Structure 1
Amino acid sequence: MCWRVGFGQRWSLLSRHPSSQGEVEYLRCACGCVVVAVDGEVVVRRPAAYAKGARAA
């Protein structure tokens, strides 16, 4: 799931809260990528560069 091989097993929970869609979690991988999960299923993932403010066209 992680953008860089070998780093995907180390995640830090940034935030967790209930929503009308379910339990929402924001997590950051050791490589810097960020994912958003709803009820444990990843719905958005972004590479580290995106998380730091760079936007891909």
Structure 2
Amino acid sequence: MAKKSKFEMVKNFYDNGLWKEKRVRDAVVKGWISPENFKEITGEDYDEQED
């Protein structure tokens, strides 16, 4: 079984209601996903000032 990427893991957690938008935002800060990934996962633009 292939290991999931950080993107897949974060998206799965968000899609299944385990993570809120704030947690996905934290994943961008940690460098796990990009701001573009944030938008793909949440549908919202990533705004650095909200960190």
TM-score by length of 1: 0.23
Higher-Rg member (1/2): 1
More strand by share: 1
More helix by share: 2
Task: Pick 1 or 2: higher relative contact order, CA cutoff 8 A, min separation 6.
Answer: 2
TM-score by length of 2: 0.24
